[in-house]
């Protein structure tokens, strides 16, 4: 998706792909996923709901997982502009955004289907790591490094583990639904994780965070 190099628009031989077909497929897939949990998400149903041949789907996406990933990407902001100046506010912003997206049944359905698919299909599993898990972790990692560089947090923290603590609970609640994913959850999650970041040996920089409340 969104290749960095513009790839010299290779001259496209034969009939060009119909953009309407493309959209119809995505639209149908979305509407099927919206009927959350109501039976398995199948290519067959997408095709018939979109009035499209199965081949037209497989031509575009080699795998159910790939289609799901595309739907997932669509729901994300084009560019993730990270204001790395304040770690605290960035974390908060990220969590609240995520929580908001996860209120949407479609979004939840996409992610849950992706995880389900990924447990059996290694290709989807790889996509899931590459496109969903890794980028988020990379962004988080970058944020933490920058915060170290700017003295917001001490060096020597276990960044990997901190990212697990941030993302783990979100997936946990998404997949098992033992408890809601809402703003309250986001705030309590932050409140738990923050002390791990700003608990420097010397007086922790509590001031800034307080002002923001």
Nearest approach in angstroms of CB 46 to DNA is: 8
Q: Which two tokens stand for residue 148?
A: 């170290």
Q: Based on CB atoms, which residue is closest to DNA, 100 or 121? A: 121
Q: Does 15 bind DNA (CB under 7 A)?
A: yes
3-class DSSP assignment, residue 83: coil
Binding partner of residue 18 among its own copies, DNA, none, CB cut-off 5 to 8 Å per kind? DNA
- Closest of 206, 197, 194 to residue 156, by C-alpha: 197
DSSP calls for 104-124: SHHHHHHHHHHHHHHHH-HHH
Whether 173 and 179 have beta carbons less than 8 Å apart is answered as yes
Torsion of CA 122, 123, 127, 129, to 10 degrees: 20
Nearest approach in angstroms of CB 38 to DNA is: 10
- Closest of 101, 110, 122 to residue 46, by C-alpha: 110
Q: Does 67 bind DNA (CB under 7 A)?
A: no
Burial of 60 (0-12, 13-18, 19+ CB in 10 A): middle
Binding partner of residue 52 among DNA, its own copies, none, CB cut-off 5 to 8 Å per kind? DNA
Alpha-carbon span 149 to 19, nearest angstrom: 46
Q: Based on CB atoms, which residue is closest to DNA, 35 or 188? A: 35
Contact segment (CB under 7 A) with DNA among 15-23, 82-90, 150-158, 200-208 equals 15-23
Q: Which residues bind its own copies (CB under 8 A)?
A: 37, 39-40, 112-113, 115-120, 122, 125, 128-129, 133-134, 137, 158, 160-162, 164-165, 167-173, 175-179, 185, 188-189, 191-193, 195-196, 199, 204, 206, 208-209, 212-213
Cβ neighbours around 123 below 10 Å, total: 14
Backbone φ and ψ for 8, nearest 5 degrees, come out as 45, 35
- Whats the size of the chain, residue-wise? 213
Binding partner of residue 141 among its own copies, DNA, none, CB cut-off 5 to 8 Å per kind? none
Chosen residue from 30, 49, 63, 173 binding DNA by CB under 7 A: 63
Chosen residue from 1, 5, 12, 207 binding DNA by CB under 7 A: 12
Chosen residue from 36, 38, 44, 184 binding DNA by CB under 7 A: 44
Binding partner of residue 139 among its own copies, DNA, none, CB cut-off 5 to 8 Å per kind? none
Residues that bind DNA (CB under 7 A): 11-18, 21-22, 24, 39-45, 51-56, 58-60, 62-64, 121
């Amino acid at each position: 998706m969104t290749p960095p190099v513009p790839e010299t628009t290779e001259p496209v031989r034969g009939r060009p792909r119909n953009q309407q077909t493309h959209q119809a497929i995505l639209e149908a897939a979305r509407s099927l996923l919206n009927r959350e949990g109501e039976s398995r998400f199948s290519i067959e149903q997408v095709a018939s709901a979109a009035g499209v041949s199965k081949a037209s789907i497989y031509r575009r996406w080699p795998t159910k997982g790939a289609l799901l990933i595309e739907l997932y990407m669509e729901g994300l902001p084009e560019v993730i502009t990270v204001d790395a100046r304040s770690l605290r506010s960035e974390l908060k912003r990220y969590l609240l955004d995520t929580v908001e997206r996860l209120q949407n049944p479609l979004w939840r359905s996409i992610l849950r289907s992706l995880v389900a698919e990924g447990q059996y299909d290694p290709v989807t599993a790889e996509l899931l790591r590459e496109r969903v898990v890794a980028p988020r972790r990379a962004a988080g990692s970058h944020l933490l490094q920058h915060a170290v560089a700017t003295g917001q947090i001490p060096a020597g923290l276990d960044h990997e583990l901190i990212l697990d603590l941030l993302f783990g609970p979100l997936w946990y609640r998404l997949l098992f639904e033992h408890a809601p994913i809402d703003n309250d959850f986001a705030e309590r999650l932050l409140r738990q994780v923050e002390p791990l970041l700003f608990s420097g040996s010397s007086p922790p920089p509590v001031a800034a965070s307080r002002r923001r409340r």
